Chain A
C-alpha cells in the first residue's frame, strides 16, 4: 500500500481555498496586463493572444519598413572650386599651435573638410613628426562644445553689440590681454597695434605649465631671457632630471625625433647614446632611459649639485655645496654619468624639467662646463615657445585684487582652471569690471566672463609662427568657418577682433601679408617679389632663414581705407643677433647687441644657487603635478580620442589618479591591484588644507614617498560633454615659490578611505611572465656588439628526425602562399619606439576607429586597432627561481609583480597579418582571408560575429563591435561620429563598422590601394616609401617601416635583413608578416646568460643549440 503524505493540514482537510490554489499554476497574479497596455487593460484585459498579435504585427512592420530602399541624393557643387575633385584629397601645409605644442603640419582635406593631420617633412623644427595631441587636434575642430557666436553675460548676441560694449569699456582702468605664449610675430604686431591705440593696455604672457625658471636661469647665466633650444641628435650622453622631454617637455615632437636618431644601432653603426634619468614619477622619458633612478622632488637640487660638482671636479672648476641623496644607487650613477658627460664634452646634454630657478641655473652651469652651448644647447637660436613670465602674472593678479584692472582679455588660456589655488585667481577675476574671453568654447574662465568672443579653430584661421629663431611657418584655413553667418552669428579670429577694436580697417590676412612683406620677406634672398615668396612659403608651410636678421619693429601702416603700405623695408634690416622675447613686441624689437655666447662674461655665483637648490625639504608625501602624454596641459581635454588613449605608462584610460609606489600603497592599506585586479582604492589627498578624493593607482617605478597627479582633468564646464567630471583637477596643487610655479608640492598628505574605484585600463598584466624569447626580445649594447646573434636572437628550431635541428620556418603543414607581385610588410624597431602613442591616435583617425567610453574599455572592449603593450621587468625570473629553489607556481606568482624600479619596454601591437593565420582557419563564413599580397583581409559585410577569430588570435588584436557605436545613444557623449559635426572627421575611404562585426588592422589597405593606383596610372613600379601607413607616418622616431618586402632594394628589406629582426611566436609557425627589431639597451649588464633560455618544449635541444 502506498503511503500518502500531506503537505499540510489544508491538503488533509482539502479546504476550498486549497483546491483553488492547487489549480492555479502561478502563486501570485502575474502583472502581464500592466506592461502590455495602459489603463484599458484594467477594464478590458489583454489576452496572451492580443500580446502575440501586437508582437507579430510590430515584427512584420519592422521587417517591412526595413525593406524600403532609401533614395540617395547626389548634390554637386553649384560652382566647383577648381582645386577640388570630389573623391581626391587635397593637402595643405599649415601650423598647429595651441599655446602649448607646436608642429608644422599637412592637413588632409576631402571635399573641403579636414579629416587628418600629418607631419610636414619640410619643417626643420618638427621634422615631419607629430604627436598624439597633434594627430587628434582635427577632432577639436568638430567639437560640439564650440560656441557659434559671441556671448554677452552668457547670452548669444551679435558681434556689433560686443564690439560696441567692449570698445567702450577698454579705456576704463587698465586693460590687459592675458595670453599663453604667442609665437606668431604678426599676432604680436596686432597686439602692439592694440596697445599703441590704448596706452592703458598691456600684454601679459602666462603659460599653464610654466617654464619661467629656464628663462630666468638663462638670464642669470647669459643675460638673455629666452628658452634655449636643444639638439639631442648630437648628444652621446644624455642626462635628464625630472624632464619628460620625449612626452611633454618643451617641444617633445622635435626632441623625440632627435633622440631616436642617436639610437639607431646596426652593424654599420654601433654607436648609441647613453641616457641617464633621475625622476620621481615614471615618465615616458624615464621609461626609455638606459638607466633610471628614483629621486624625490626635494632632492632634485641635490642630484643637480652633485652632478655639478662631479663635472666641475673633472673639468677643473670650483665646486658648490651639495646635499646627501637618500638613494645611494642614484649617487653612484651621478658619478658614472658625470664621467661620461666629461668624456663627451660638447656632445652631451643635461636637461632638467624642474621649474626651479636655482636648479636650472646649475644645469646651465653644467652644460657650460661641458662646452655644450652652441652645440647641443643653443641660447642664440632659442625657442620662442614658453615665454610665460610667472612674475608678471602674479603681479597682474595683485593688480586685479587692487582693482587696477578694468578689462581683462584672456586669449588661448584658461586661468580660472589652470592657476594654483594659493593664487586665488577666481576671486580676483570676479572683481574685474569687464571680463572678455576669446575661448572657442565655454570653459571655466569664459563661464565667468562678461563677453565671450569665440576665436576660430586653428584649422579655420590664418596665421604665422616663429617657434624657434630663424624658423617660420604659416598657417592657412583649410575649411571655411564652420560657424558663420547667416545661420550663426559666427566665430571671429582673435586677430581680426583686436584689429577691429584698434580701429584698423583691414582684415588680418592683409595685415599678416603686410607684416611678412615688411619683416620676413627681406630676410630671404630666394624670391625677388613678395607674391611668389608668399605663394611658395604658403605651399611649403615653413621657411628657414639661415642668417637671422632681426628687423626693428615698425607697425604695418594701414591707411583709412584699409590698404596696407608695404614700402621701405630693405633699409630697416640690421644684423643684430639678440632680442628679448618677453617684451610686448617680441623678438622683432632690437634691444641689445650681443655677439657669440662665449663673448658674454657674466659671473654667476653658482654656490648661491646650489645652497638654494639643496635646501628644500620634503614632507610625508611629495606631490609631482605632471602632464600626461595624452591630454597634455588640458587644452584638448574635451577630445574623446585623447581621453580614450591609454596612458603610455599606466595604460589607464578616461581617468585621473594618484600614482603611488606599490610599497606605499601597501603601507597605507590601499588596494594593491595585484593579479590583474581593476578595483583600486580612493584616498583623500590634502594639499595646503584643500582635500580632494582621488583614486590611487599603484605605479611601479614611482619613487617611494612621492605621488603623481596629472593635470588636464577635472573640467568643470558642463558644455564639455566628454571631459566634464572626469577625474580631479591637479592645477590648484601647483606651488609657487620664488615667483615661479613649481610643478610639485613638497608636503602633502594622503589618507586611505574605504571607497573603491574601478579603473578602465587596456593592459592589466604588467610583466612578460618569462616569455621574453617568444614575444619581447632585448639585448644590451655590449652583448649586441660582442656576442653571437644565436645567443640573443635565435631562430626557433625543432629537433629533426635523425638528430640536428630544423628551423621552424622550414616545417610547415601548408604550402606557402605565392607572392608574385607585392609582399607588404611592416617592421617595428623597438629600440626607436618610445611608446608615445602618436601612432595609436593616427590609426584611430585614419581608420574611423570607434570611441567606446570608460565602461566599455573596462570590459576590455576598446576598439583600437593598434595598441602599445608596455612591459615591466620583474625581480623574479627563471634563473633566480632555479637558483633559489622556488617552485614553479610561486615563481609565476612572483613574476606577475613588477620590480620596484622596473625596466620598461614598449611593443606596438597590431594585427600581425600571419601568413598561416589562426583566425582564418576558424571563420565559418570566410570573412577573414588572405590576399595574394600578404595581407590578412577582414571583410565586414561577410562577418556574422561568431568571434571565433578573436578567440583564436594569439595576439588578441581583433576587436568586436559590441554595439552600434554610431547610433546607440549610450555612446552619444563619447563617440564623435554620433553628431553631425563630429561625423565630418570620418575618413570616407574607410567603412564605418556596425554592430556585430569583427575588425582589426588592415595595414591601411586603403592607402596601399591608392598607392597602387597611382603607380598603375603613371605606368611605373611602386616607389619605395610612396605608400606609408598611418602609424608609420605619425611616428616621430621613425620606428615603423612599411614597404614591399618583395622589393629587395626597399628599406623594409634592409630592416628585415638586420640581425635584430625577429617575428613573434615564431615557434608556433604562424609566420607573421609583421616583424620586430629587438630592443637594444645601452647597458653593460648581460641579459642573455646561458641559463636564461629555457624553452617550454625541447628544452635540452634549445640549450644545445645556443651553446
Chain B
C-alpha cells in the first residue's frame, strides 16, 4: 500500500470514489461529500479548489446547466472556449487541477448542483462521514439515573449502623432498668469498641476462624491481582485498556464508515516489527482539505494543524511543529519481541484477529489480553501456510515424513517451533 503515500491526494479521491458507487442517486449531499468535498468547501474558504459559497451568482447563466457541464468534464468546457472557464484557469495560475466526473449520471449531477447552490442550512458542510454514522454514536452512553450498587451498599451499612447503635442504647437502658429493679449494680455503659472486645473475648474460636478465612480470601485475591499486574484486559468483562487520547480520533469514522484501509495510516505494518503510528503528514494528506469533522467540527482537526504547523487560513506550513503524544494502548513488556511483519505478511493474519473490531470503535480499546497464554493458544491452533513458500519446503517435507499415516495433523505454528522461548524472548 506504499504507493498511497506517494500520491496522497489522488488516492484520497480514489478512496472516496470507491464507496460512492452504492449511493442513492438523489442524495446530493452524499455525492458532494464523496466527490467534491476533498477540494471544495461550501463556505467561501479556499481549499485545493475555490470555496463554493455564492457560486451560482458567479458562473454563467443558466447556472445549473453550466455547473453540470463543468463538473462532468471541466476540460471540455475549457476546450469549448468558454470565457468564464478560461478566466478561472487564468486566475489559478494557468493550471486546471480539477478532476473529471464523467461517471456521474445526469440525475446525480442535478442533485449535487442543487445541493451546491442551496445547501440545507442545518447540514454542516463536512467532507467525511456518511449520514448513518451520527445516529449510532450515542448508544454506548450509560443509562443515566441508575444508582451505583456501591452507594446502595454504603447506604445500607450506614443505616444498619444507626439501627445497631440505637438498639444497643435501648438494650443497655433496658438492662439497667431491669438491674435497678432487681437491685443489682448498674452496668457501666461500655463504648462500642469495649463491647466488641468483650464479645470477641467470649467468642475466640469463632473470631479465629473468621480471621483465618478473611486472611485467606485476602491473600488469594492479592495473588489473583498479582497475576493481572500489567495486564490491561479484563477477562470477565472482555474489556481492555481504553485511555482517552489527545485527539478524539474515531477509528469508526475513518476505518469503518470511510473504509480507509488500516495500512494506509499504519503503513509500516508490512515492513517492520512496528505497525507504526501514522506521522502527522499522513493525516494531512486528507485533512489539508477536510477541515471539519462530523462530530467535533473543527476543534479536533485543529489539533492536527497545531501538530503539523499548518495554518488553515493560508494553507501553508508556517507554524511550529508539535508532535502528537498518543497514548499507547497495546503494550508488551520489554522482554517480548513481537513483529507485525511476521504476523501480517508471513502469517497472513488479519488486523482484527488481535485488535478486534477497530472499525466499530470510537475510541480504540485493547481487545485481546496480550498475555503469553493468549499468544501461545493462538500459536497452538494456527496453521502455517507452507504451500507456495519455498522457505518452508524443507520443514514441510520433514513434517510430512514425521506425521506420515496420521490423520487430522495440523501443521501449526507450534509444530515448527513456535512455542520456543527464543522465538519471542531475547
Contacts and interface: CB of A to CB of B under 8 A. Distances in A.
B274 A86 contact: yes
20 contacts: A72-B327, A76-B326, A77-B281, A78-B321, A78-B322, A78-B323, A80-B281, A85-B272, A86-B272, A88-B272, A820-B398, A933-B417, A939-B425, A941-B333, A990-B426, A991-B425, A1005-B426, A1009-B339, A1019-B388, A1022-B391
Interface stretch (A26-34, A335-343, A1010-1018): A1010-1018
Interface string B399-426: 1001000000000000011001111011
B307 interface: yes
A12 to B, nearest CB: 47
The interface residues of chain B, by DSSP majority, are classed as loop
Contacts of B325: 73-75
Nearest to A942: B421
B394 interface: yes
Contacts of A992: 334
B402 A820 contact: yes
Nearest to B232: A69
Interface string B282-302: 100000000000000000000
Interface string A907-942: 000000000000000000000010111010111111
B395 interface: yes
B421 A1020 contact: no
Contacts of A1016: 342, 346, 389, 391-392
B394 A76 contact: no
A991 B334 contact: yes
Given A88-B268, A821-B395, A939-B422, A76 B417 contact: no
B326 A73 contact: yes
Contacts of B324: 75-76
Contacts of A935: 422
Nearest to A819: B398
B389 A1019 contact: yes
B325 to A, nearest CB: 5
Nearest to A1002: B426
B391 A1019 contact: yes
B73 to A, nearest CB: 35
A1011 B225 CA distance: 39
A643 to B, nearest CB: 27
B383 interface: no
A687 to B, nearest CB: 51
A929 B425 CA distance: 12
Given A73-B328, A79-B280, A929-B421, A941 B335 contact: yes
A488 to B, nearest CB: 18
Contacts of A931: 417, 420-423
Interface in A688-737: none
A136 B272 CA distance: 27
A76 B278 contact: yes
Interface string A1022-1034: 1000000000000
Contacts of B341: 1013, 1017
B44 to A, nearest CB: 30
A600 interface: no
B155 interface: no
A74 B307 contact: no
Nearest to A992: B334
B390 A1020 contact: yes
A78 B391 contact: no
Given A78-B308, A1019-B391, A71 B243 contact: yes
A206 to B, nearest CB: 46
A677 interface: no
Interface string B265-276: 000100111101
A317 B222 CA distance: 93
Nearest to A1004: B426
B426 to A, nearest CB: 5
Contacts of A941: 333, 335, 425
B421 A937 contact: yes
Contacts of A1009: 337, 339, 423, 426
Interface in A80-129: 80, 85-88
A940 B321 CA distance: 40
Interface string A981-1007: 000000001111000000000100110
Given A939-B421, A1006-B426, 13 more contacts: A73-B325, A76-B278, A79-B280, A86-B274, A821-B416, A937-B420, A937-B425, A939-B422, A940-B335, A989-B337, A991-B426, A1017-B346, A1019-B389
A87 B274 CA distance: 6
B390 to A, nearest CB: 5
Interface in B306-322: 307-309, 321-322
Contacts of B26: none
Contacts of A1018: 391
A1026 B277 CA distance: 30
Nearest to B331: A72
B345 interface: yes
Given A76-B276, A821-B416, A932-B417, A67 B229 contact: yes
A38 interface: no
Contacts of A1046: 394
